[in-house]
Structure 1
Amino acid sequence: MPKCTHQGCGKDFDEGDNVEGSCSYHSGGPVFHEGLKSWSCCNEVNKPVLEFEAFMAIPPCTTGTHTTSLPLKPTAPQPASTETPTTVSSSGVETYGFQNLSTEAASSPSSTTTPASVPPTAVSSTASAPAPAIPAKEDEEDDLSFKVEDGARCKRLGCGAVWEGEEVSRGEGEKSKCRYHPQPAIFHEGSKGYLCCKRRVLEFSEFLKIEGCKEGKHLFVGAKKDETKEELVNCRLDHYQTPLQVHVSAFAKGADKEKSRVVFEPQQLHLDLHLPANKRVVKSVTLYGPIDPETSTFRFLSTKVDIVLQKPKPASWPLLELPAPGTELPPGYALTFGVSGRTGTIGGKEIVVSQEELARRGLNG
């Protein structure tokens, strides 16, 4: 059967049963602005969201008939995305709009950053403390005791399969197989793709068609939560850098100072943050470059943990986290420093590239 090409639908349909109202879709285009994501056709009804998964879950706002025609391009340009990895703060230091790229997409930190000349109040960096034990991460699976509503879609990135009943969606056939992306989307200077695979496209409609690179079971309802047990959750990381420091904000509201720990190692950052409502963040980040654990610092605030990673020598980090082997980043990804004003970039600083980075990019010969 043909597959509907309306944005937000994507269902297989029967031409003989393609009646008015059988298709629910978005008639407008995606709008990405300052970390927020929405659809132009319903952004007054369905408010913009931060997470890409939440954006993909925004319910369609238009009904009609299914189609196999390619989506029309918008007649007017969409607002330019500010989710490009590099932005510039008024203090003249390089900033990054993306959160920690192992998890998820981001908002600009420019409104909450501290000028590099004002060091944060230091708390003992506990460099010699052991790193918190991190449970082995497994893909979430459906709790089979939960009822799946008709029309429910698979929650895994890049799948979007529609629930067709127990025998079809959880059986042994082809439709029970989930092909998805285990790592988040990456948008950079018009290029769109996923960190877990190499394909990059320009059109958003083509991005939605990028087939998943991992195979498993569909996730329609998720796992049942035990309210009596501690719940492991994630936290958003934003960062900006100067030649000698990387300033990281871990957004963990109400973290308990007495129970929580931040541990520095020569090229790793470990977080063990105890939050209200019996929630906990246990996270380790393999950093893009080395740091000095003894002089790196952190402090707890009411809404986040401020962390300052001290580089042993001047260098530019394209990312906060070292990508997995084989991950291909767009050319020139977030390597430059600059100076900005109200009307945009008005100057620049000489780029500082470490020998390690030159070796990675084959530029030291």
Structure 2
Amino acid sequence: MSHFCYNRGCQKKYTPTNDPAQDDTACQYHPGLPYFHDAYKIWSCCQKKSHDFGAFLSLPGCTRGPHQPTKPEEPVAPRATEQEQVVVPKPTIREETPKPRVPVIERPPMDAPLTKMKLTVSTSLQEALEKLAITPKVNTNQKEQFNDEVKPGTSCKHASCGVLYTTVDQEQATPCRFHPGVPIFHEGMKYWSCCQKKTTDFEAFTAQPGCSEGEHLWRVENESSKNEDDPQVLKTSCRYDFHQQGPSVVLSIYAKMPRPDQTQVELNAGRLKVDTRFGTATSTKRFFNEWELFGLIDVNQSTVELLQNIRRLFSLLLCCCSRQKQKRQIAQIILDDSRRTFIYSGIDALNITNSTSLIIADFGSSHGQNSIQTMKIIIEYLTKMNKLRGSPLIIHNDLPTNDWTRLFQLLAEDNSYRGLANGCSFYEECLPRNCLSIAFSSASLHMLSKKPCNINNHCYFHFANENEREIFKNQSKFDFNSFIKYRSQELQSGGILILNIPCVNENGEMGFNFYFDLIYKCAQLLTILTSQELIDFTIPFYLRSLSECIDLELFNRYSLILIKSELICLKSLIVDQYRHGQIRLDRFAKSLSMLMRPGTDLALKQALQINRRSSPDIERISTQFWSLFEEKNKSRAFSAAISA
């Protein structure tokens, strides 16, 4: 009679030979536990590791011993007493120790006064500024004379070209081979976004020849970036980022050599303003920006430090305070009953007979807020229905260009399950075959694998002509077939696929056409965009009808059975909150920009890359575009349209 071995790394069926000499060494397994660190999957017993999850699971065991026919016991929660079982015929609700009451700080009005912060200047910065004072000063307001002549020895500014300028004849004879995309570093891999040639070695990455050919770029003409009268230039003159550190939020501004006498930081519980000048002895820049803070802070506990540190040159520590989260956090998603019902229906149909732990994947996780909540709902219902075998493995999938840092931060903060990231297109094979228990995707399948054509008079398919719409429709059908094909191969027998696909109604409308029209109008208002860039700015979205989503012939071809389908009208949370006065117009405008930006911004940047814009120009134009979009959202005409 055959048995199943539960040893890690083995998990095969075997038949005992009743020969101790053979049975005692018949199993090759891992006695240790798997753990995940720095994009590696590692066995604690032998330290064998791999980037790829499928390869990790197939690593041969490091120890020999007898097979384990008995499934290891899972930790069991303490059982209720006999008296409790009689009196209360339902599970005991855990009582949490009440937390001390902390006064809730209300968000101040927009015109509330700001407190000027005291600056703490590090000793190393003071010494560096003293040395800088010895060097002769230069008039920072004097504009540099732009010289049209290229000096011999000047290197080409295109990525991976490296050719040095000598003469005009040499320039014409030597072609420029370069990478028009941006470098991406993800899960130990280095590659260019334009050609996707991946490597783990940094030197091999830098030595990759360019994938495009064109004219050399000997200088970057960016005179407009020196105009300190332009508010957008002041916001983008240096890089900055926010990150959480325990109960505090740290704003790091990477302004080298900030001048304490020309730096001013002001804030209140909900707003922050920074104005500083920084730079070398020969050239300085001004950085100025204002932020409406997402949460509320304690001004008295906040500090400002000016540092002479390569990693963080200007630090602002914002101490968070207690607040009513559910009323303030616009990004919080409440999963409505209709979508829960679909998840429950799918899990009810789950019928996997093997005893391995479940693997659940969300295809198109984006920044992770909605994805994490949905995964928790799935785990909760699996537990309730007694279908969970040990701890499940959760895989969050999205493109390599996704905001993975944000997703990892949210996973660390939530800490309710162990999750992995999978960076590839869900229109390709993402996981090993026959490994997946539950596949899920929400609000992602309207994004196409590529832009099938340009839309001449708009950026969104709804406003395209009949021929352009037909091309988008064909690309959508091809992508949907690819998605179904690869998910069916990855699913185990008895596994389930749950899809929440944005669709149009019987009139061909979805409700977001108004916002996409505003996006195109903002692009037209940006005079910095050329006419060709405006044509190339086409968003690769297509919203299917219900009949396009229900392809029974396709499902049957890949051995899938349709359990349930329905077209449901869902409310937009942020629009609903604004209409009911729960959020102000400025918060609504910011939240709407965050909602519309992910797919749209990528299309804008790709249009700029195609037309050989430099990376600094692309980031500057993108920031300028979304600032304009947010400002238009705050206008009275837009507010009236939303209210209607």
Query: Does TM, normalized by the shorter one, top 0.5?
Result: no
More strand, by proportion: 1
TM-score normalised to structure 1 length: 0.36
TM-score normalised to structure 2 length: 0.23
Query: Per chain length, whose mean CA-contact separation is higher, i.e. which structure has more relative contact order (CA < 8 Å, sep 6+)?
Result: 1
More helix, by proportion: 2
Which of structures 1 and 2 has the bigger CA Rg? 2
